[in-house]
Structure 1
Amino acid sequence: LIQGSAWWCGTIILKFLTSKVLGVSDHIRLSDLIAARILRYTDFDTLIYTCAPEFDFMEKETPLRYAKTLLLPVVLVITCFILKKTVRDISCVLSTNTFQRKQLLEHGELIFHTLQLLAFTALAVLIMRLKLFLTPHMCVMASLICSRRLFGWLFCRVRFENVIFGILTVMSLQGFANLHNQWSIIGEFNNLPQEELIQWIKYNTRPDAVFAGAMPTMASVKLSALHPIVNHPHYEDADLSLKTYEVLYDLCISSSYECVFNTDIYIHIFFFFRPGCSMLEIWDVEDPSSAANPPLCSVLLKDARPYFTTVFQNSVYRVLRVN
């Protein structure tokens, strides 16, 4: 109990001190995303994440893929043996002397990794993107098939090297098929409207012209056109997300030119970008009282005057300049 309490308090203190020293502040907590999945909790920040397919529930095909490579069956077998060994050791601990009890409790890493596997599994089921933690950990757990502590009884009866070689061979068959499928994909990303936008920005604007707009597009503007941007796609940072919130709030909820114009002057935007109003439903949740009002972005698409001038437009994108 003392060790557990010290670990918990130490983790919180270390997180707090690290954030202070590095000047980093998290904007959204993992607990909020879990609440959004389990309790249907919704607000602007959680919807920004959960509306994306990467933050949806785990795909039904994922366990099937794990099973085809034998990763899932092997991990399940190993987990069952660990739990069985744990129950047996605990029963022995309750009926042995202090020295034997210490020997039995010396190796707790198997329990630790099993509990970590269960935690990663729960997170991956709720948030598909967190498979990036689950899959490597499943591979680590699968390596315990070679553990003499778990399967020493089998080592004495058969040539266990042959068993391991057979399992790896079957795994490799599906694994090679997966690699071959990925290698056979030959494609090229093509987004002509965005290419036209980037080319126009590079050759028709000043190097210090600042842009604001949808986060994925801003990433392209920053990377390809090398222009400064107002709202950064790294939404986890509190300061960056606040800027994004202010910019998009004024466009999607406000119906006043002056409101967005004053905001633009405050954060020194010379150009404003908005490809459409795909986030209106999220804003209706954030501010239900303004749901009936026409959003400014729709008004600007019809007539941007007198505060804005349309300087570029194609089939998808429109760039508005602050006059």
Structure 2
Amino acid sequence: MSRFLWAAALWLASTTTQAVAAPPDEFIASYAREHDFSGSILVQQDGKAIYTRSFGLANIPFDQPNSSRTRYKIASITKLFTSTLILQLRDEGKIDLDQTIARYLPDYTGEAADKVTVRQLLHHTSGLPGYDQVKDAQSAIREGIPVYQLPHSSDELLSRYASGPLVTKPGSTFEYNNADYVVLGKIAEHVSGLSLEQALRQRILDPLQMHDSGLLRQDVIVARLADTYFHRDDSGKLTPDLPAYPENWYAAGAMYSTPGNLLVFANALFGGKLLSAQSQALMLEPGLDDYGLGLWVYETKANNRGYRVAKRPGRIMGAQAQLYRFLHSDTTVIILANTDAVDLDEFVAKIGREVMR
């Protein structure tokens, strides 16, 4: 999956910092300034938000600053919502993770129908071919990205881009792939009897009062949504993202949210309020490439101590997002950005090390 289209979090306000313990205020502010970070950051520890702040502009031409109320495109963090829906349906006895695609999508015509299981889709080990072939911004500018720049229904995404011949044996190889989560989105719809948007709202967003979150569509204006910008390879200049139909990222990357809403989701998910203990354990059991069911789970070190973390990043052009959770210490770092100026993998890890001093 190209970094340019890694669909794949930052919430911060132009607000004051709340110091509960010794939050890494100086480090974050300095790093943000030095790297031209634009977005929002939220850090929670021991049930309290110890750092909330926003940087940069949500809209550059109108000089509109990012704030705690800014909504951001969260790219592939959407996948974690999709995997949660699938596991909720598992908890209700409506989905067996080891049944194949055909069990839940009888009209699916791809080779994977009777060969690929729901679990393999969740783990990105299905063997389905990836359809994001753009390697860099210049090739996207030159050649376009028809998968995203032409309108497609979710049924068309499934039949045209997620039903191709298998390229590896199912279960044998990790390959990060939006096609897997397109199939999972359609399974969630078919089994629940709801559209993806309805399922998200009824099962997750409304119960958690996540009123600043939802699915993006080209024909719907989302209030307070940050514009996104990326750096051109040829000039190095910051430029608006290429035009695209955001709904074409569907269950793999079409959502928007705020850091505050994502923290509510993270606390509910990791706090056992959305899934059974068994499903939560399945989600957090790393498979190939340390990938669980919708997120990476691995061991890291901070200040010479070992920690188990869950990480769900996302990226689509200038939109970047990180949800980073220390699983046994109630510490969460959320970063949502509207430019590609900063390597958020590095930034979130550095914040994590600072917080865990």
Q: TM-score range by the shorter chain?
A: under 0.3
Name the structure where strand makes up a greater proportion of residues: 2
- TM-score scaled to structure 1, two decimals? 0.19
Give the structure with higher Rg (CA). Answer: 1
**RCO comparison, higher one (Cα < 8 Å, 6+):** 2
- Which structure carries more helix by proportion? 1
